[in-house]
Amino acid sequence: MAFEAYDPEDFYDELFLALGEPRSHCASLIQRMVELGIAQLEQQRQTAAIALFKLGVTFNVYSDNQGVEKIFPFDIIPRIIEGSQWSQLEQGLKQRIQALNLFLDDIYGAQKIIQDGKIPAEIIYTASGFLKPCLGIKPPAGVWCHITGTDLVRDKDGSWYVLEDNLRSPSGVSYVLENRRVMKSTFPDIFRNMMVKPVDDYPSQLLETLLNLAPAQVPDPMVVVLTPGIYNSAYYEHSFLAQQMGIELVEGRDLIVADGYLQMRTTKGLRRVDVVYRRIDDNFLDPLAFNPNSLLGVPGLMEVYQQGRVALANAPGTGVADDKVVYAYVPEMIRYYLGEEPILSNVPTYLCWRESDRNYVLANLDKLVVKAANEAGGYGMLIGTRSTEAERAEFAQKIIAQPRNYIAQPTLSLSRVPTLIEGKVEGRHVDLRPYILHRGDEIYVHPGGLTRVALKKDSLVVNSSQGGGSKDTWVLNSINN
Amino acid sequence: MLSRVADSIYWLNRYIERAENVARFIDVNLNLILDLPSGVPPQWKPLIAVTGDIEQFDHNYSEVNSENVIQFLCFDSNYDNSIISCLQKARENARSIREVISSEMWEEVNSFYLAIKEASAASSFGTLPKLFSRVKMASHRFAGIMDATMSHNEGWQFGQMGRLLERADKTTRILDVKYFLLLPSAEWVGTPLDRIQWIALLKSASAYEMYRKCQHHITPGSVAEFLILDRAFPRSIHFCLWQTQQCLHEITQTPPGHWCNGAERALGKLCSQLSYLTIEDIVQSGLHEFLNQMQSSIYQVGNEIHHTFFALGDSQRALSNQSSNNLQLQSTSNTQASSA
């Protein structure tokens, strides 16, 4: 049967305490799934997959003109987070985003944190996401990272860690909304009994955040989503968000700088654009300011931005804090800017440019996870415990050649969630990406977020490009609210 | 609305209409071949001639025969105006404006493309008639779905314009097939074979039944009159251009009879001309010459629409891939720059 034989083994399991013993807040879900039986669950999984494909919830695997789209595999056993646990995460995320935003404002402004010796200037200036043209810019309400998708993981003992902050343009929120839509139609009765926090509010919250950036004197601001185009892997999401917010989805070629403003080409002439939710990397935004070969961006956009005539979300330059060396300083930032102790911990991180750390890393490559400071998506990474001698030697060389570019972390044994795999329920590792919106006077944390699951047995890599899938994430309302 | 979005919805419709019409004129030839008296060889060259892309055909194929012509016009993905290329581009356009069109429209384009792609792998001479009727029906279904599920807003009007303008152009070409379709000798004019060719031509425009309701005899003049000047038949040139004009004025809100941009002026002139022409005028100046003239006028209207609505701002960056499209115009070189 479905869950009787399910063994959490030696991992933190999000739904089970031990063999045959669900966590109390998950009991009614498990009971309902046991009642349905494995055949029924498998059938529901297929129905859900078809529904998602029909909705066109797809990502592109590679770019060619044949338009190859795949659906992000979806597992129907949800991940559940208890209400009280969630409020703690929420507090931790708000604190962290607030500090990161103050850091960005500082680093492109007075740079007090460097002067006070909390972080070396060299680290900042060598971070690939640091953009000199952004020095001295004052974005509206002092907000730089409007939309963040923080990656969280849990270790064996169940404690939460921040893995990455993703302050540039995190994707995946469309899956959160579409997964929920499918789950609600698949298991309506479970929803009725479980008091799951709804997620449908995200597009309104996002639109609110974006409208907030428009100059006060503009009565009816024009807000757009800027996409690299249909070949981008997250194009579906760009189109989905534009549709849900009821705003225009534009490409670089739709925009032009004219008369000192950003304008879009419409059938009735040029029309001014006030706020851009851009899903294009910093370096491609403006060929005049950054990568001159970019065809995706808009020549002259940065100048208009610097003059405060258009707002960009996120602000260019936020990538500096996505550097994994800078990441290691976030707990320090929280103490420095807020005078508080961090609520959420970092994964302990060894910085290879420090000699003592480097020596430790080189001596323990077989136990650590080594990551390139500027890569994302699970690339440029060595998982020591699964590596060969040759791979370790290769990474040792890289580390010695460019110590600034590498960090190492202990191997966490990520928490697991029961997952339907070929007609059986098996434990699979997961992470969690909640979405946080910063509006200046208020920080909003979207309840839940995207749970990504490594569908390959024992795999720790949850990225969609490398065999990952997703699950619906249920945050339960606390009994007393 | 965004120029790019208007451009995409316009071309989405043009490409679907184009695919449909390519199927139509191959289908007519297939029918004709089956009716040929023994000793009269089947003709495939007219089909290529009428597209205006004969050079490209000659470049890639050694011989004009049924296999090559069908491959070229239906399944050759290197040829921009083959059925498969049209559908691929239609799908790509639809995909880039999915948040603007209805999801039913997207689903129809998507499955249309996938079905033809699948068919291209497994087609044989025997399955062609079925394939062509599928193409025609899918195109009609798309038009119906668009009509019934999308708001009749500015975007819809652009889509209609694309479809109607393309249809007008293709009707000129279907008529022109007869010019290229050689009779064995002059003695055959007015014989059953000649008549059969004219009937086949009407059928390929789905016009035979409607024609019969207003004409008893099949004569070249009255067939041409029906397909060019009829005011009620939805594939006649006059009808298509008249409707295009209505959409255009719906978009700009310019009162009828007035113009305030190049597109309105070019189209207005063309419509007025058609309103007061008689078939005798046309025959006197030469049908083939008239059709040629009509094709270049329609091309001109398309150009004006492009410049008025889609190519706003700097001229350096062409707006989209379709702006380089050769509208299959004979003797007009493909002058527009292709986009980056």
Listing DSSP states for B90-144 in one string gives HHHHHHHTTTTS-HHHHHHHHHHHHHHHHHHHT--GGGHHHHHHHHHHHHHHHHH
Chain B residue nearest residue A256, CA to CA: B313
pLDDT in tens, A343-354: 999 999 999 999
* CB distance B46 to B181 below 8 Å: yes
**How close, in Å, is residue B8 to chain A by CA atoms?**
12
Identity of the residue in A248, A256, A267 whose CB atom sits nearest the CB atom of B313: A256
Residue A419 belongs to some domain of the structure? no
Contact A65 B6 (CB under 8 A): no
Q: Are residues A388 and A321 in the same domain?
A: no
pLDDT in tens, B237-277: 999 999 999 999 999 999 988 999 999 999 999 999 999 99
Q: Which two tokens stand for residue A154?
A: 């849990």
pLDDT in tens, A3-28: 888 999 999 999 999 998 999 999 98
Q: Are residues A335 and A360 in the same domain?
A: no
pLDDT in the model for residue A479: 60
- How sure is the predictor about A187, in pLDDT bands with cuts at 50, 70 and 90? confident
Q: Percentage of chain A with pLDDT > 90?
A: 70
User: Which of residues B53 and B158 earns the better pLDDT score?
Assistant: B158
Residue A188 belongs to some domain of the structure? yes
Residue A131 belongs to some domain of the structure? yes
Contact B2 A65 (CB under 8 A): no
Residue A275 belongs to some domain of the structure? yes
Q: Are residues A197 and A241 in the same domain?
A: yes
- How sure is the predictor about A109, in pLDDT bands with cuts at 50, 70 and 90? very high
Q: Are residues A230 and A365 in the same domain?
A: no
- Residue A66, pLDDT > 60, answer no
**Which of A230, A231, A256, A265 to mutate: most B Cβ within 10 Å?**
A265
Q: Are residues A267 and A393 in the same domain?
A: no
- A351: which residues sit within 8 A by CB, 6+ positions away? A325, A328, A357, A407
Give the count of domains, chain A: 2
Contact A67 B95 (CB under 8 A): yes
Contact B312 A270 (CB under 8 A): yes
**How close, in Å, is residue B1 to chain A by CA atoms?**
5
**How close, in Å, is residue B267 to chain A by CA atoms?**
18
Q: Are residues A94 and A217 in the same domain?
A: yes
Residue whose C-alpha is closest to residue A22's, from A77, A88, A90? A77
Q: Is B2 helix (H, G, I), strand (E, B) or coil?
A: strand
Contacts of A267 in chain B (CB under 8 A): 1-3, 6, 154, 158, 251, 309-310
CATH number at residue A400: 3.30.1490.270
The chain B residues in contact with chain A (CB within 8 A) are 1-4, 6, 88, 91-92, 95-96, 98-99, 103, 106-107, 154, 158, 251, 309-310, 312-314, 317, 319-320, 340
Contact B309 A267 (CB under 8 A): yes
- Residue A276, pLDDT > 70, answer yes
Q: Are residues A342 and A357 in the same domain?
A: no
Interface contacts A/B by beta carbons within 8 Å: 60
Contacts of B317 in chain A (CB under 8 A): 253
Instruction: Lowest mean pLDDT of A51-65, A328-342, B36-50, name the range.
Output: A51-65
Q: Which two tokens stand for residue B299?
A: 């091309």
**How close, in Å, is residue B176 to chain A by CA atoms?**
34
Q: Are residues A401 and A261 in the same domain?
A: no
- Residue B325, pLDDT > 90, answer no
Q: How far apart (Å, rounded) are the C-alpha atoms in residues A30 and A162?
A: 29
Q: Are residues A252 and A384 in the same domain?
A: no
- How sure is the predictor about A302, in pLDDT bands with cuts at 50, 70 and 90? very high
Instruction: Lowest mean pLDDT of A454-468, B71-85, B108-122, B181-195, name the range.
Output: B181-195
The mean per-residue pLDDT over the stretch A59-88 comes to 76
Contact B103 A56 (CB under 8 A): yes
Contact A256 B99 (CB under 8 A): no
Q: Are residues A282 and A363 in the same domain?
A: no
What is the signed CA dihedral for A267, A273, A276, A280, rounded to 10 degrees?
50
Domain span including residue A391: 350-410
- Torsions phi, psi for A76 (to 5 deg): -90, -5
Residue A420 belongs to some domain of the structure? no
Chain A residue nearest residue B100, CA to CA: A243
Residue A283 belongs to some domain of the structure? yes
Chain B residue nearest residue A253, CA to CA: B319
Contacts of B121 in chain A (CB under 8 A): none
pLDDT in tens, A418-462: 999 888 899 999 999 999 999 999 999 999 999 999 998 888 877
Contact A254 B340 (CB under 8 A): no
Identity of the residue in B2, B95, B106 whose CB atom sits nearest the CB atom of A254: B2
Residue whose C-alpha is closest to residue A58's, from A221, A180, A230, A316? A230
Residue A423 belongs to some domain of the structure? no
Instruction: Lowest mean pLDDT of A64-73, A219-228, A334-343, A361-370, name the range.
Output: A64-73
Q: Are residues A293 and A372 in the same domain?
A: no
Q: How many CB atoms lie within 10 A of CB A246?
A: 10
Residue A1 belongs to some domain of the structure? no
Q: Are residues A259 and A331 in the same domain?
A: yes
Instruction: Lowest mean pLDDT of A101-110, A230-239, A258-267, name the range.
Output: A230-239
* Structure ipTM: 0.74
pLDDT in the model for residue B329: 34
pLDDT in tens, A156-185: 999 999 999 999 989 999 999 989 988 888
CB-based burial of residue A312 (10 Å sphere; 0-12 exposed, 13-18 middle, 19+ buried)? buried
* CB distance B211 to B226 below 8 Å: yes
Chain A residue nearest residue B340, CA to CA: A295
Contacts of B151 in chain A (CB under 8 A): none
| DSSP one-letter code for B306 | I
Chain A residue nearest residue B94, CA to CA: A230
